[in-house]
Every structure is written in C-alpha cells, then in structure tokens.
Amino acid sequence: MTSGSSSKPPKVRQLFGTDGIRGVAGESPLDAATVYAVGRALGERIPQTGPDRRVVIGMDTRESSPWIVGTLAGGLAAAGAQAVSAGVITTPGVAFLTRTQGFAAGIVVSASHNPWQDNGIKVFGHDGYKLSDDTEHAIEQEIFTHLERASAKQLPPPESQKLHDSYANWLVSHVASTDLSRLRVLVDCANGATSALGPEVVHKCGVRAEFMNVNPDGHNINQGCGALHPEEVAREVVERGGFDLGISFDGDGDRALFSDAKGNVVNGDAVLLLAARDLKGRGLLRNDTVVATTMSNMGLEAALRTSGIGMLRAAVGDRYVLEEMRRSGAVLGGEQSGHIIFLDGESTTGDGLLTAVRVMQVMAESGRSLADLVQDLHVFPQTIKNVPVREKKPFEQVPEIQQALADATRELGEDGRIVLRYSGTEQLARIMVEAATDEQMNRIANRIAEAIQRTLGA
C-alpha cells in the first residue's frame, strides 16, 4: 500500500477528510456496513503477492473503538489480510509499528480530540506515512463498490503485547543516556490513548511523576482535560507545587502541550524553538531549517532567526507540515497545537510522548527550566475565532469578506498577519489575527467574523 504525498491536485474525496474518516460512531460513514467495506477495500489494496499481508490496528479508549476494530478486521479477513491488534495505543505508536515491524499497513481507530461519541479511521502505508490523497480517493471508490453488497461481520483480532512493548521501549531509548531523575513532572493523559502508555514510559525514563486523567471509561476521553485544556494541568502545577513541568496529551497521543513551573502554558511554537536550538547545537538540524504553519506566531520566526535558523510555513495540518519537511529535507516541524514531527529517527508523524521525552531531555541536559529555554520567544498578540458556516464557499468569491480582509491587511501593514481558512474536520471558518496590540487584534478579528457571519453564517 503506497503512502506519502502527491504532486497533483487532490481529487475530491467523499469519505476521507484531512485526517482520515471521522464521524459519529454508528452513523454513516462510521456505521457497521461502511466500516466493514473500509476494511475490505484496504485489504484488497495490499499486494496479493507481498511477503506479508498483516495489518496492525490500534485504538483509543472510546466506547465504540472495540467494535470498529473488530468490524475492520472482519473486512480485512474477507480480503485475505490478517489483522493484529496493538490494543490501546497512540496514533504515532501505530505508525512506528507499521514502519518497523514489517506490516503492510497500519490502522488507527480514533477521533483524536473529538468528544467520545465520535470516532475515526486513519490509515498508514507500510512505510509509516499517511496515505496520499490519490490513494485515499482510489480506496473510496472500492469502498462504495463493496457497500453495494457487503454484510458486516466482526472478527476481533488477536492482541500482541510485544507490539506495545516495542513502541514503549523505543520511546525510552531516546533518553537512555540522560539522567531525568531530578525532574518532577505532572502529566495529563486525557483519559485517552496515553492513559497506560504515558505512566509506563515516563516511569521507565526515571522521571518522578504524578498523573491526571488516566482512568478512561469510554465516555470521558478529552472531557475537560488533556491538550484541549492545557490550563488544567498548568493550574495543578501551581496548586500542588514543586513541579518542573506539566504535560498535556490529546486523546490519540499525537500531540502534547506543556506548562512551565509557574503555570504558564507552553505551546508547539515554543517547543519548536527549543527543539530546533538543541538539534542545531548538536549539528543535527538539517539545512538549519524548521517547518511551521501559517498559524505559527511571528515571534517564533524572529526568535529562530536570532539563532541562524530559517522557518518555512506549510498549510495547517500535520500532513502538510510533513509534506513540506520531506520536500525541503527538514528534520523538525510542527504546529502550535502541539503536533511536533521529528524525522531524525523512526518517527513519521506527530508524537506527543516522543515530544515530551525530548523536551525533558533538553531540560535535563541543559540544566535549564522550560521558561528559561523559551524566554526570548516574544509572542505577538494572537486570537483565533471560529465562525459556524452553512457552506464552505471559497472566500475569494465573497466580495464582502474580501473587502473586510483588504481593509484589515491595510491597517496591519507589516505589524501583523491574518490567516483565514476553513476547518478540515468541522463546518467552521477559522480566523487567525496577529497584531501589535490586543485591542487592534480583537477589533480586526471581530470585523472579519461579522462579515463571514453575514454572508456564510450557519
């Protein structure tokens, strides 16, 4: 099964969004018949003559995840492919296992940061990279063909503890020569995929740690916790006292946000800064370049420049960051949201646990606090507003929106930025504004939001 990116314009996809297939569990496109057809179509994409037709499947802690895994495995079996379960594991864990353990493909059953009622299906090719747009489009056509005649059957796959152990041991190996025992850390696992892995990995690294939200019940994933609410662990760091660091993971463990010892939230931009400087200092930052996104703060670009590091901007979405990294040869990239991608090892996607391990490693080896490591990151005031829309009409086709953008751009000059885009997973327009002052930032964001609401609002 091929993966990676395509240089051609992507075909219109009906099931796959920017991060796999996602929806309400039990409803189309995550009803049993469609899920079975997905498994059948994926199984048929695996070369019939290949040496190994095994597919690894991992899941998060949602109530619906086990039946979706079983139904996918049933579809795969109907196509002559064998599913092996890695149990509850992170999205990057499945990518790692697919790449290193000889699997033909990897599947993750998760809806990441979405509420428990939702779920999703993400697919990795044998090389551990997400599938290209063209490959997803081809699979969709096969899914629709199978839907016409498929009857869903569940076949729960055998679970392998060795797969879990392989990923956990790989994470720990990154700090095998680093003493982390002086660090005291508070970790929020969001009642998600890191609920078991997080404590295991952090303890094996020798860190003195306490944990929050590690008791998933099928319904409490992301509920008022984790990377969606990093202020929660930040507050606890201060109230409990004595912690060097707070860490917040999201539901599927592919991103992490942090808190310094004083309870200040530290986002992905700051992590990119400290990681880039660390890699450059060790001569490992290829081309002295980092890939961020259009949403990354102007302050990051300025801080990197002082260290002789260039920054490229990709479209929002870790798959687009990864595409630009592979195109430019960069080994480090990421998003404000905490998706940080390290391509200097076996990693092929954002990995919250790996990011946490490497942040702790930089702190321990430098002897510096997190706040000190990023203290020169002067953040421009930034806001993001979400506007529900009834349709995703191209903004350039709406004169009132174009006029609002033109007026705002003229007012900001070179002292700010505006990024206007649609969400890839929700019916929302997102407005990001950076400006010299909070007052100007909010005024401009509200003006654009009002134009969108009047013309496209739901």
Active site positions, annotated: 112
Instruction: Count CA within 13 A, CB hemisphere, residue 444.
Output: 30
Strands 82-88 and 208-212: unpaired
Q: And the tokens for 224? A: 């008022």
